[in-house]
Amino acid sequence: MAYLDLQNVEKHFTNFTAVQNFNLSVEKGEFVSFLGPSGCGKTTTLRMVAGFETPSAGEITLAGADITRLPANRRNIGMVFQSYALFPNMTVRDNIAFGMKIARKPADEIRRRVDEMLGIIHMQEFGHRFPHQLSGGQQQRVALARALAIQPQVLLLDEPLSALDAKIRLSLRQEIRQIQRKLGITTIYVTHDQEEALSISDRIVVMNKGRIEQVGTPLEIYNTPQTAFVASFVGTLNVLQSTVKDAAAGHVMVADQPVNVGKPIREPGGAAVAVAIRPEAFGLGEAGNGANHLRGTVEDMYFLGSVVRLRVDVSGYTISADVFNNQQLALPNRGEMVTLHFMPEACMVLPKTAEVTAGVE
C-alpha cells in the first residue's frame, strides 16, 4: 500500500470532463510532478487531493485512511498557491503560525516552530514584516513555510513559481527541492514547465486532456516517451514523415533518403509513419557503426551558448540539430550542404494518433 493512493479518480463538470481514469501511487517522501499544458486537469486533480474539489468517482487514500470526502480543513495537507495567498493582515510570523494557532498548540511550541521555519527559508529577520512589504519570491517562501509549519502528511504546490521572475524561479525551485529532501515530506508539484519538472522530480505524471499519458522518472519520460504527446511536449523534437520500405527490418524512406529505425515497425510496407529524433542525437559529418545519414542544406544557425543549433533543410523537412560548442568546432556556412549522422536507436516511431504538436522550434 503506497502512502498516497489515487484510484480511478474522475471529475466531471456540467459540460466537460476535467479528469478521468486517474490512477497513481505515491510513496512516502517522494517528489512527484504533474506536468501538462493548461486545461489538462493537473490542477483539478491536485485540488481533489487537497479537498477543494470532490471527485465525481474514485477514491483517495492517505496513509491507509480514505480521505475522498473528508473536508479540506481536516486533512492535514499543506498547500502552496500560485498567488502565494498570504494573509495580508498578518505578519510573516503570524502567517506561519496560523495553522498551529488553529490547532491550539501552546505558545512556546508555536514560537519555536516559527523560528525553525524562518531558519529553513532563510528569512530570520523578516518575521515582523507584512506581505505587501515582501517581494514575490519572499512571499512564496513564507507561503511554503506556512504550509510546512503544520507538519503535513503531504505537501501540494500549485504552479508556485509561475508568477516569479526567471532567475528567482531557478533558485527557488532548488530551494524547494532541498527543503523537501531534508524534511522528507511527500510532495506533489503541479507545473506546465517541463524543464522545471524534469529537473527536480523523482517521478513525473504527464497529463493531457484529463488523462495520464505517462508516469515515469524524468529520464524515462525524456528518453522513452510512450505517446506522441509526451514525446512532443517534453523537450524539443524533430518529426519526420516517412514511408515504410521494409517493416520487419525497420527501414523507412524520408522523402528520398533511407533511414534505419533499428527496430521492426508495426505498420505495413508503404504506410506513412512519423519518425521522431531529438536534436542532440545528431552529429555533423560521416560516421560508421551503422549510423544513419541525412543530407541537407544549412538554413540557419543559432548560437545558444554551450550548444549550437543548426536548422538544416533535409528534402523539404527542417531539422534542428544540436551540436556541442567546443574550440575545434568547424561550423558550416549558411547555404552549405552538410551530412548529419544519427544512430538508429535514437529514432522513435510515433503511434498514429494525431496528437503530435511538431515540437521543432
* Site residues for other proteins per CB under 8 A: 50-54, 71-74, 76-79, 81, 83-90, 98-99, 102-103, 130-132, 139, 143, 146-147, 150
Pick the closer one to other proteins by CB: 131 or 250. 131
Q: First-to-last CA distance in the chain?
A: 43
Report, in Å, the least distance between residue 55 CB and other proteins.
12
Report, in Å, the least distance between residue 88 CB and other proteins.
4
Listed in order, strand segments (DSSP E) in the chain are: 4-12, 17-26, 31-35, 57-62, 65-66, 77-80, 154-158, 186-191, 203-208, 211-216, 238-246, 251-254, 257-260, 272-277, 283-284, 292-303, 307-314, 317-324, 337-342, 348-350
In 3-state terms, what secondary structure has residue 180?
helix
Distance CA 96, CA 70 (A): 24
Pick the closer one to other proteins by CB: 74 or 167. 74
Pick the closer one to other proteins by CB: 143 or 185. 143
Pick the closer one to other proteins by CB: 72 or 337. 72
Report, in Å, the least distance between residue 162 CB and other proteins.
14
One-letter amino acid at 190 equals V
Question: Strand 203-208 to strand 31-35: parallel, antiparallel, or no bridges (unpaired)?
Answer: parallel
Contacts 24+ apart (CB under 8 A), 228-232: 228/274, 228/276, 228/350, 228/351, 228/353, 228/354, 228/355, 228/356, 229/355, 229/356, 229/357, 230/206, 231/276, 231/348, 231/350, 231/356, 231/359, 232/276, 232/355, 232/356, 232/357, 232/358, 232/359
Distance CA 262, CA 182 (A): 44
Report, in Å, the least distance between residue 111 CB and other proteins.
17
Pick the closer one to other proteins by CB: 34 or 282. 34
DSSP letter (8 states) at residue 332: P
Report, in Å, the least distance between residue 73 CB and other proteins.
4
Residue with cell 575545434: 328
C-alpha distances in angstroms, 7 versus 77, 169, 173? 18, 33, 29
The Cβ of residue 359 has, within 10 Å, a number of other Cβ atoms equal to 16
Report, in Å, the least distance between residue 169 CB and other proteins.
18
Pick the closer one to other proteins by CB: 46 or 323. 46
User: Phi and psi (nearest 5°) for 167?
Assistant: -65, -45
Report, in Å, the least distance between residue 83 CB and other proteins.
6
Report, in Å, the least distance between residue 246 CB and other proteins.
55
Pick the closer one to other proteins by CB: 58 or 250. 58
Pick the closer one to other proteins by CB: 142 or 206. 142
Pick the closer one to other proteins by CB: 164 or 252. 164
Report, in Å, the least distance between residue 39 CB and other proteins.
19
- Sheet with strand 317-324: strands edge to edge: 283-284, 337-342, 292-303, 307-314, 317-324
